């Protein structure tokens, strides 16, 4: 019975995920993100904002290739949990983004870990947030490459229609 339930769950996840694909970038690409980062505060260096935006767009695509992300996020999560892939859970993406952006040692930007608690059928979700130095994650921009399998989603935390971002839990 347990095997049957697991098999049915697998079929359900695959069926639901088959209907999803990363949308085309309607957020304006790295240039729009750089402008949004620069607008986080008067002391944000536009050069740092541009560099952060370029990394935020390019690095997840490299990770998707390295981690063999070939499916929508829920299917890939299943593969990781079943041992078929090593990485690609949302916390892997968040950690990798924070580490890579942290290597830049930005002087006018700060990095944060943010969590959206489970609610309804959604499980807990983690992501990186970038803000002006001295500001909190609530005044920053969510950088979430997990939800579209390596294609960056970004927004102000309060503008995210899918997740309610808060402190790490």
Supply the pTM of this predicted model: 0.86
The per-residue pLDDT for range 92-139, each reduced to its tens digit, is: 999 999 999 999 999 999 999 999 999 887 889 999 999 999 999 999
* Closest of 157, 85, 104 to residue 127, by C-alpha: 157
pLDDT (tens digit per residue) in 130-166: 999 999 999 999 999 999 999 999 999 999 999 999 9
Give the whole-angstrom CA distance, residue 68 versus residue 66: 6
Q: Where are the domains of the chain?
A: 28-159
């Amino acid at each position: 019975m347990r095997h049957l339930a697991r098999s049915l769950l697998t079929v359900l996840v695959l069926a639901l995920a088959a209907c999803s694909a990363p949308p085309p970038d309607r957020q304006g690409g790295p240039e729009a993100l750089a402008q949004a980062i620069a607008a986080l505060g008067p002391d944000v260096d536009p050069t740092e904002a541009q560099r952060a935006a370029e990394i935020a767009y390019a690095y997840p695509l490299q990770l998707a290739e390295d981690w063999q992300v070939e499916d929508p996020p829920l299917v890939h999560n299943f593969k990781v949990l079943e041992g078929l892939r090593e990485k690609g859970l949302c916390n892997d993406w968040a950690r990798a983004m924070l580490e890579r952006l942290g290597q830049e040692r930005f002087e006018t930007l700060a990095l944060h870990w943010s969590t959206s608690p489970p609610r309804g059928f959604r499980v807990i979700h983690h992501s990186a947030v970038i803000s002006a130095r001295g500001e909190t994650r609530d005044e920053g921009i969510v950088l979430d490459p997990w939800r579209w399998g390596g294609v960056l989603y970004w927004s102000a935390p309060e503008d995210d229609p899918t997740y309610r971002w808060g402190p790490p839990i």
